[in-house]
Structure 1
Amino acid sequence: MQNPRDKIIITCAVTGNQTLPSMTPHLPITPEQIAEACLGAAEAGAAITHIHVREPATGMPSMEIDYYRQVVELIRAKNTSLILNITTGPGGRFAPSEDDPKIAGPGTLFLTPAKRTEHIAMLRPDIATLDLNTMTFGAQVVINTPPNVRKMAQVIHAAGTKPEIELFDSGDILLMHDLVKDGTLKAPHLVSIVLGVKYGFRPAPETVLYARDMLPPDTEFTAFGASRSAFPMVAQAYLAGGHVRVGLEDAVYLSRGVLAETNAVMVEKARDIVEMLGGQAMSATEARAHLGLVDRGRTTRSAA
């Protein structure tokens, strides 16, 4: 049984892929807004920022490499210690057409592993997410086949980037064990246990403990909740011996009926919860040492 840590890492997921501009007027959309959200989160106590990008004209999710490059450059111009965690999640979504289900219908964004990781190869961030889930997700399905996951992991490792394994249900953890056995994933491991996504892990204390106890040895974990479970899961993750994550990717409310005006205020609330429970948030420098990450500030910026 793990005990709460003296110090934990706070990750802030500042914009994501699922939160819509219609849900909140405070969602960062342009590269400048996303970079400023990351910098603000860092000032509030986040050691890691998790980054997606969006199409500035529409606010919808994007995979445009130049937007990623702009975000990285803008952050690194002001902060070289903040740990950058960039998504590879977009590109695994399939919606069968009504007339012929083997043909992609509206809502599909299904890309090759190379396309989903080309920005990682170019920008070489500290961390890149690697989703293991194949599941119903809204009106579509997300498909991450083991062969595609292996190809993406190879690109991430070749970039000198640490994969953060995203786990949405217990079967994902079993797949992770297989990927560890065949050498695709190399210890020490970093994972996120995602709770509160419909048809995935239920956001409850027993779920966090169950998932934690299934993880491979030598694994650091973050557990976080979506929507109304975001802040309760901060407390649960800490109490279970894990790290925490908040941000406008995961939830838009700071409290019942009160929209979070910035990612920074969400980080401040998460930090306050951890401190009330007896812990402290690591600085980016401390988190980098704890996770065994090299100082990528200059190299990431130059690669960008």
Structure 2
Amino acid sequence: MTKKIFMTCAVTGSSPLPKHPNFPFKPEHVAAEGLAAAEAGAAILHIHVRDPETGAASTELELYREVIGLIREKNKEVILNVTTGPGCTWMQSDTEPEKCGPGTLMYTAERRLEHILDLKPEMCTLDICTMQLWGGAAINLDPMITRMGEMIQDMGVLPEIECFEAGDFVFADDLMAKGALPKNAPYSFVLGTKYGLPATTEAMSYARNQIPRGANWTAFGVSRHSFPMAAQAVLLGGNVRVGFEDTVYLRRGKMAANNAELVSWGASIIEHLGNDLATAGEAREMLGLAH
């Protein structure tokens, strides 16, 4: 019996703009890329927003409203998984190391979840790492994540637990034990960040073995590791994520035209390895989400 595997498309992310002529950052373009990715087979769209003039990462509520509204206007079945990552970045001051420096972006739980409360997507990511990242530190300590986890559940939204390194799995266990995360929360393994889990078979196997038996999980590799880790996720029984947030290349020297082309390549990996690509409706059943 073939296994159903769902695919997430991370449409635009929040990293500095890559050199790509079709990289989406205007709301109508982000929405169009998401809709095309869903048409190509993505069951879940992972959504960030960007400043429509500069392309820089943004957290503006009106931009989220516009992107989500444009997608839902044409597709009510695809699952929306919206980021809550921005607002945990701490940069150290060069002259006063006990103080934060330029580039620090630290929000309250309420600010980090403002758009989730407003829009009520089916899912949202929840980064639980505290580690060196983005040239500074991502700080997600227990009081903040407990508050966010409780608020997300109160909103009726399913959090996806984003794990960047080994200690995150222990933290997730503790959060579940006290009810700050639901028992059915899916996991996402981020592989290939410089100080996190490496993009290797061994790291993915380790991550899979740390989570509750039967839990849904997705794994993805950053940059050149995207498709090798997509294939590895399929082989180890997980789900797949692709998209411009992670890479703009199909392979070395071959740039993808758009997110939909990345999704098509991901779908071919799933199918060539003997599995079936899950529809959005099937992914909803797998995740316990309402239709």
Kindly indicate whether residue 182 of structure 2 is the aligned counterpart of residue 186 of structure 1: yes
Match of 2:4 in 1: 7
Tell me which of 162, 169, 172 is aligned to 2:168: 172
* Greater Cα offset, 80-89 or 280-289: 280-289
* Greater Cα offset, 50-59 or 282-291: 282-291
Kindly indicate whether residue 220 of structure 2 is the aligned counterpart of residue 224 of structure 1: yes
Unmatched tracts of structure 1, length 5 or more = 296-304
Q: 3-state SS of the aligned residue for 1:183?
A: coil
Query: Can you list the C-alpha shifts for 1:191-238, whole angstroms capped at 9, x where unaligned?
Result: 101101110000111111111001123411001100000000111001
Kindly indicate whether residue 155 of structure 2 is the aligned counterpart of residue 159 of structure 1: yes
In 1, Cα distance between equivalents of 2:210 and 2:99: 37
Unmatched tracts of structure 2, length 5 or more = none
TM-superposed deviation, 1:186: 1.6
Match of 2:97 in 1: 101
TM-superposed deviation, 1:13: 0.1
TM-superposed deviation, 1:5: 6.0
Note if contact 2:147-2:180 (Cα within 8 Å) is conserved in structure 1. no
Q: Which has the higher contact order (CA 8 A, sep 6+)?
A: 1
Tell me which of 14, 18, 36 is aligned to 1:17: 14
Query: Can you list the C-alpha shifts for 1:124-146, whole angstroms capped at 9, x where unaligned?
Result: 00000001100111311100001
* Greater Cα offset, 250-259 or 68-77: 250-259
TM-score, normalising length from structure 1?
0.93
TM-score, normalising length from structure 2?
0.98
Identity %: 47
1:101-180 equivalences in 2 (<5 Å): 101-180=97-176
Matched AA of 1:8: I
Note if contact 1:126-1:293 (Cα within 8 Å) is conserved in structure 2. yes
Note if contact 1:15-1:27 (Cα within 8 Å) is conserved in structure 2. yes
Matched AA of 1:83: I
Q: 1:23 to 1:102 in 2, by over 3 A?
A: farther
1:73-92 equivalences in 2 (<5 Å): 73-92=69-88
In 2, Cα distance between equivalents of 1:189 and 1:72: 22
User: What is the CA RMSD across the aligned residues, in angstroms?
Assistant: 1.2
Note if contact 1:5-1:242 (Cα within 8 Å) is conserved in structure 2. no
In 1, Cα distance between equivalents of 2:125 and 2:178: 19
TM-superposed deviation, 1:294: 1.1
